[in-house]
Structure 1
Amino acid sequence: MSGKDDYYNRSKQQGYRARSAYKLKQIDEEADLFERGDTVVDLGAAPGGWLQVAAEAVGEGGTVVGVDLQRIDDLDDHDVETIRGDMTEERTRHYLREAVDEGGADVVVSDMAPNMTGEYTLDHARSVHLARQAFDTADELLASGGDFVVKVFQGDDLDAFRDDVSEAFQYVRTVSPPASRDSSSEVYLVGKGYTRSPVAEGDRVDVTVEEEGDEGDGIAYVDGYTLFVDGDVGETLSVEVTDVKPRFAFAERVDADESD
């Protein structure tokens, strides 16, 4: 029995709307995407197979939102919100922001693919364009520390896109789930640990130490973002950012003559 037939038959037997549900299951197993209670956004969600997998993973305490230009039939066994619309339009993005609330999304996933022309270079370019649209949406919706999964076809523009995604996450890996068809050129980029930081490595800023950390280091804030520095409470100093994490960064003191 071919792999295609196997996953198709399994999806019918287990009640999934598409064989692609197993791709997300396998990506989750490899990259540890979902936790109970998470908020998940699925872009290009029709017919709903990924919505089913996400809803099972996050449980009743989680929130799952799907958006697609096509209508998504209600999922009888899961409490999932669906939005019919173009995610590049402000109206749709408004509804998405309302659905995930101010806390943001923990995971944004996209299995979108372009309408195939049979011309590989064009199909690849269109897939990267869709992936970038998904990345823009993830950049708007993800909470700090969140994860991102996006499908893209292999080709000349993939490395540049991956580099852009890497700048926004702690690390990025490329995953080829076994459920992908052998003939497919698709891969999935998985970004882990979204970094919503007002500073980047190498930035020099002036800060005031406001608190003392558990290990005796100073804590300063830049636009509400935590910066661990070597300083005493009340001290104002110039620092250079050395390491950026999703929710905090480390910085080293810069001598006065170096900051000039």
Structure 2
Amino acid sequence: MARKDHYYNKSKQEGYRARSAYKLQQLDEEANLMDEGDTVIDLGAAPGGWLQVAKEKVGDSGTVVGVDLQRIDELDGVETIRGDMTEEKTREKVHETVGSADVVLSDMAPNMTGEYSLDHARSVYLARQAFETALEMLDSGGDFVAKVFQGPDLDDLRADVEDEFEYVRTMSPEASRDESSEVYLVARGYLTAPVEAGDTLEVTIKNVGSEGDGIAKVEGYTLFVPSTEAGETVEIRVEEVKPRFGFAQRID
């Protein structure tokens, strides 16, 4: 049986609105994107297969919001917004609904023309729109997933995403059709630190952690600095930045 037939039939048997539901299931199984209680925004959510999977993952304590220009039939426990995320009024409505998110998803794809270079470029444009939305909506440490067609502009897009997240993978779930050129950029750990790797600054060590490293605060962000003592004011260079804390070395 052809793989596309398998997932199409499976979706009908299991009550999913689209075979693409299995793509998100497989991405989540591999990357552990969604947890109980999370807030998830799904861009280009119609007909709702990804919304169904997201709701299963976050449970009753979580929040799932789907956004699409097309109408999405009602789903129990899921909020839907009809609109274009490139428009301010739609973004404001999403903000009013959820405030911020733990995960932003996008399975958006362009209307296919059959001209590969054009379809690729349009898919990159849509992924960038989703990326900009993620930067606006995600909490620190949040995750982002976007579909894009393979091609020459993919590397630049991935590099831009890598600048904003702790790490990024390019993934191809089993449920994607054999003939498809689609891949998914899966970005974990949105970085919202007030410092960047390579920054030099002067800090005061507030206390010493259980591992013996000094702890400094920069606008509420924690930096671990080895070979320092509480009360010292030292010059440091930031070595590594994670969503909620970073590492530095003293250089004075």
Q: Return 5+ residue gaps in structure 1 as ranges.
A: 256-260
CA drift of 1:100 comes to 2.4
Q: How many residues in Structure 1 have an aligned counterpart in Structure 2?
A: 251
CA drift of 1:97 comes to 1.9
Q: Which amino acid aligns with 2:153?
A: D
Alignment of 1:126-165 (within 5 A): 126-165=122-161
CA drift of 1:207 comes to 1.5
The corresponding residue for 2:194 is 198
SS at match of 1:118: coil
SS at match of 1:226: strand
Alignment of 1:104-143 (within 5 A): 104-143=100-139
The corresponding residue for 1:258 is none
- Call closer, same or farther: CA 1:5–1:168 in 2, change over 3 Å: same
CA drift of 1:11 comes to 1.0
1:254 aligns with 2:229: no
The corresponding residue for 1:81 is 79
Provide the alpha-carbon RMSD of the alignment.
1.3
- Cα deviation 1:146-182 (Å, max 9, x = unaligned): 1111100000000111111111112111111111111
Q: Which amino acid aligns with 2:35?
A: E
Q: Using the aligned pairs only, state the percent identity.
A: 70
Whole-Å separation in 2 of the counterparts to 1:198 and 1:129: 28
Whole-Å separation in 2 of the counterparts to 1:136 and 1:198: 19
1:94 aligns with 2:92: yes
Q: Return 5+ residue gaps in structure 2 as ranges.
A: none
CA drift of 1:113 comes to 0.5
The corresponding residue for 2:222 is 226
Query: Normalised by the size of structure 1, how large is the TM-score?
Result: 0.93
The corresponding residue for 1:244 is 241
CA drift of 1:133 comes to 0.7
- Cα deviation 1:77-131 (Å, max 9, x = unaligned): x301111111111111112222223xx3111110000111111101101100110
Whole-Å separation in 1 of the counterparts to 2:219 and 2:47: 41
